Amino acid sequence: MLSLDGIKAFYGTSQALFGIGFSVKRGEVVTLLGRNGMGKTTTINSIMGIVSPSSGSIKFEGVEITKLPSFKTANLGIGLVPEGRQIFPNLTVRENLVATASNHQKNDHPWSLEMIFDMFPELAERVHSMGNLLSGGEQQMLAIGRALMTNPQLLILDEATEGLAPLIREKIWHSLGQIRDNGLSILVVDKNVADLIKLADRHVIIEKGKVVWTGTSDDLQADVKLQQRYLGV
Ligand code: ATP
């Protein structure tokens, strides 16, 4: 479904990605792991057209998306839950959900407000509240709901549960399980490796802008040295 090959990216003269390559298959949950500053966000932003790679290729459903602007990538069926959530602060919960809603891929059973509120009853209770009045957990639920309302085939989450309390984290992981069971593919960045091992099929570890390891949850779980070396857990 998604494939990256030889992606290099720079910020000015400083190189952040040194030839990233990996893939996500249909229906798969894949993680991007690595310590701080290793290039996970830059990789995601390259997929989304927020960072423009200097070389390499990114394909989604066989279409070259490497140089596409973000809105075109989104229209092709990739939904982003960005680091820091980036909720529209001066729109209500409902307005945040409908402002960018779309169904460009003609999904037969498109996401509706009711489906989002079934998944996150907390949002239904706050439907008329302004985005900036929500807790961090509610904002993350809203960011996921907003992305789902664009009816993506692939959902990308950057720091899915950063700064959230354990109970809220559990809710987010549970919702991602439901979303996966709905048939979506998921690419997720997070620091809670134990939770990711339970949720994901495969893991991609990035170190200094390069992929240094890929493997299944069982492989990762079994290799404590690998976890210590690249993830510091
Ligand atoms: P984190 O978990 O801390 O967000 P990350 O793995 O997502 O880390 P990136 O944010 O992609 O890593 O950063 C990769 C490298 O690029 C780092 O060396 C970082 O300092 C640098 N970098 C990131 N954003 C910028 C920017 N806007 N300008 C200059 N350098 C940047």
Alpha carbon distance, N-terminus to C-terminus of the chain: 31
Q: What is the pLDDT of residue 97?
A: 97
Q: What is the pLDDT of residue 84?
A: 87
Instruction: List 154's β-bridge partners, or say none.
Output: 78, 185
Do 131 and 88 touch, CB atoms closer than 8 A?
A: yes
Whether 39 is in the pocket of ligand 1, judged by its Cβ within 6 Å, is yes
Q: What is the pLDDT of residue 232?
A: 83
> Per the structure block, which two tokens stand in for 140?
């993350």
Going by DSSP bridges, is the β-strand pair 202-207/29-33 parallel, antiparallel, or unpaired?
Answer: parallel
Instruction: Please state, rounded to an integer, the average pLDDT across all residues of the chain.
Output: 95
* pLDDT band at 233; cut points 50, 70, 90: low
Pocket test for ligand 1, best of 10, 20, 35, 38 (most atoms within 8 A of CB): 38
Whether 42 is in the pocket of ligand 1, judged by its Cβ within 6 Å, is yes
Do 149 and 98 touch, CB atoms closer than 8 A?
A: yes
- In the chain the domains, ranked by start, together with CATH numbers, are 2-230 (3.40.50.300)
pLDDT at 172 over 80: yes
Residue 190 C-alpha to ligand 1 middle, in angstroms?
15
Average pLDDT over residues 72-83: 95
Taking only the tens place, the pLDDT of each residue in 5-28 is 999 999 999 999 999 999 999 999
Q: What's 176's DSSP letter?
A: H
Whether 9 is in the pocket of ligand 1, judged by its Cβ within 6 Å, is no
Q: What is the pLDDT of residue 221?
A: 93
Q: How far apart are CA 142 and CA 92, in angstroms?
A: 10
Complete DSSP assignment for 13-38: TEEEEEEEEEEE-TT-EEEEE-STTS
Average pLDDT over residues 163-184: 94
Average pLDDT over residues 203-216: 97
Which of 54, 61, 53, 24 shows the shortest CA–CA distance to 157? Answer: 24
Average pLDDT over residues 107-114: 93
Residue 57 C-alpha to ligand 1 middle, in angstroms?
20
Average pLDDT over residues 59-67: 96
Do 140 and 164 touch, CB atoms closer than 8 A?
A: yes
What share of the chain in percent tops pLDDT 70? 100
